[in-house]
Amino acid sequence: MTDKGPIIGIDLGTTYSLVAVWNDGVPMALPNALGEVLTPSAVSVLPDGTLLVGAPARARAITHPEQTVTSFKREMGTNTTFALGARRMSPQELSALILATLKRDAEIALGCVIEEAVVTVPAYFGDAQRQATRDAGAIAGLKVERIINEPTAAALAYGLHQRHRELKVVVLDLGGGTFDVTVLEIIEGVIEVQSSAGDTRLGGDDFDQALAELISHRIERDAGTPIADSPESRARILEAARGVKHRLSAGVTARAALPEIAMANGTFQSMELEITREDAEDAWWELIERLRVPIARALADASKTPSEIDEVLLVGGSTRMPCVSRVAAEMFSRLPLSPLPPDEAVAMGAAVQAALKSKNRAVSDLIVTDVAPFTLGIAVVTQFSGRRVTGVFAPILERGTVIPASRVKTFQTTDHNQRSIKVEIFQGERSLCKDNRLLGHIEVAALRAAPAGEIAVDVRFTYDLNGIVEVETTVLESGAKRELVLEQAPGRLTKAEIAAARKAMQRLKLHPREALPNTTALARADALYSELSGAERHFLGEGIAALRSAIEAQDEPLIKSVREELIAVTKALRAQRS
């Protein structure tokens, strides 16, 4: 492949990721090596050091939890690292593996080289998280100039076919790790975001964990002894919780069968539990209530009442839970809509944004505006009732400001003969800086010795379309300027570190793409095998052995036939347990 391909749109999700492209006037999700559009955001390591990415890694999270990493998106922009065999990897490096896999899948599907992508992030991602996402793209060999908020992307995909209507819309985006709320207006092809709010620690993963705790409590109550604290037990119970959650989205009761759970007293317990939707929602009560807070805040920031909203859109796989629809219906007095596939809407919107960036004529009449989700400001010293108060937050660029935007405020020295100023930059909504997030600082030095208040400094915040912040200070007397460099922010990689990480990724031993169908079929069957017992377990074990034998014989027609039969058996047995 030598031809340069189009800009692709990528939804880099906490649980699943996918890639889409603008094709013949519409956004289209592209299949991966398994023919599926959703690629699990999971990485696992085999005993020989080979890395698995996607579906087979996700299946190994049940059978080999200590060799598998998931939900690393939640740690983007931090110094957290994850162990994978003998190596430790940052969230950026793990995300880069997902992005590189999606890039390769797109190149195979389109038959050309992909160099650039529009990548989506939660609206409530801060500067460090957005910079980390851009770093991950660079490590994966992708130019990521444009970052777009996930609800805005979903609104783009929806507004593509509604551009000649006038609508006030709220987008509720609940994914695996984050919850975003966006209020927007569509008027004659202009999609104007009016406010964004959210919770970067509220998603489907939290609902899974709460349900796993309920299941664990039930097992321990019935067994009369605690569950053994092992990664395998925790992984199996969490997987059972995910299955129950999915089944409760369609029914009012669901079974969780857990054979041979290791207990703390050295025994093994086999349990079959029935969980009702009411049981689950009791366990989720606090999480459900947390959904209401960002919704109310987004409406308040947009100066809108629920009655002024024409449509409520649900985006993200976790919005399939009936409790989410119920919260939306209660708050807006109308049923929410899911006009697009919840899992695909964000990637489709990213593909629309890619078409806009490419100046595609089909979207030439579509205009999108966005807003800053956080307030940005600095720490100042002030006087209150004759007392000197430090660490007070002074907002400069308020949340809800339409971006791109640039705002400036002037500040004076507070001490006599002050020769330098440390300008600390914060992001947040609290009155004290210690309660907000520190982004970095600028040292303004070599000031003229003068009485307090005589030296003035302008502080300018510039917020671009990607949600990336630049800060500039100007000493008004001398014109001396300094700019904020965020390379040293937590989780931010330097150019040298990005280059080194990219070289290291090229040296990684990745599982061959052509072998993924076999590996995935075996991993999914192995995961189910650990949950079964009796005749069903024996029957599935024979299928697993048959495929392994066919692979060893390198008989391609036999491999395909046995693999398809094993996939069918796995699906049938999984369906029976539902």
CATH class, domain 376-466, is mainly beta
Q: What is the CATH number that goes with domain 8-163+337-364?
A: 3.30.420.40
Residues 528/540, Cβ–Cβ less than 8 Å: yes
pLDDT at 327: 97
**Which amino acid is residue 154, in one-letter code?**
A
Within 8 A by CB and 6+ apart from 266, the residues are: none
What pLDDT, in 10s, does the model give residues 128-163? 888 899 999 999 999 998 999 998 898 888 887 777
- At 489, the pLDDT band (50, 70, 90 cuts) reads low
Question: Residue 5 has what pLDDT?
Answer: 86
Least confident of 167-171, 323-327, 554-558: 554-558
Please list, residue by residue across 535-560, b when 16 or more beta carbons sit within 10 angstroms of its beta carbon and e when fewer do.
ebbeebeebbebbeebbeeeeeeebe
Query: What are the catalytic residues?
Result: 11, 73, 150, 173
SS3 305: coil
pLDDT bucket at 492, cuts 50 / 70 / 90 = low
158 CB-side CA count, 13 A: 31
Find the range with the poorest average confidence among 184-193, 245-254, 449-458.
184-193
* pLDDT single digits (tens) 401-425: 988 899 999 999 999 999 999 999 9
DSSP per residue over 32-70, as a string? -TTS-S-EESEEEE-TTS-EEESHHHHHHHHH-GGGEEE
Tokens, residue 542: 């024979």
Sequential DSSP letters for 122-158:
-TT--HHHHHHHHHHHHHTT-EEEEEEEHHHHHHHHH
CB 429 within 8 A of CB 406: no
Residue 577 has pLDDT above 80, yes or no: no
| pLDDT 10s digits, 258-317 | 888 888 888 888 888 999 999 999 999 999 999 999 999 999 999 999 999 999 999 999
Q: Give the N- to C-terminal CA distance of the chain in Å, as an integer.
A: 44
Answer whether the bond into residue 31 is a cis peptide, omega within 30°: no
What is the Cα 351 distance to its own chain's centre?
Answer: 17
* Mean pLDDT calculated for residue range 367-383: 88
- Contact between 541 and 533 under an 8 Å Cβ cutoff? The reply is no
Instruction: With CA atoms as reference, report the closest residue to 7 among 120, 154, 106.
Output: 106
pLDDT in the model for residue 486: 52
Interval 86-103: pLDDT, tens: 889 999 999 999 999 999
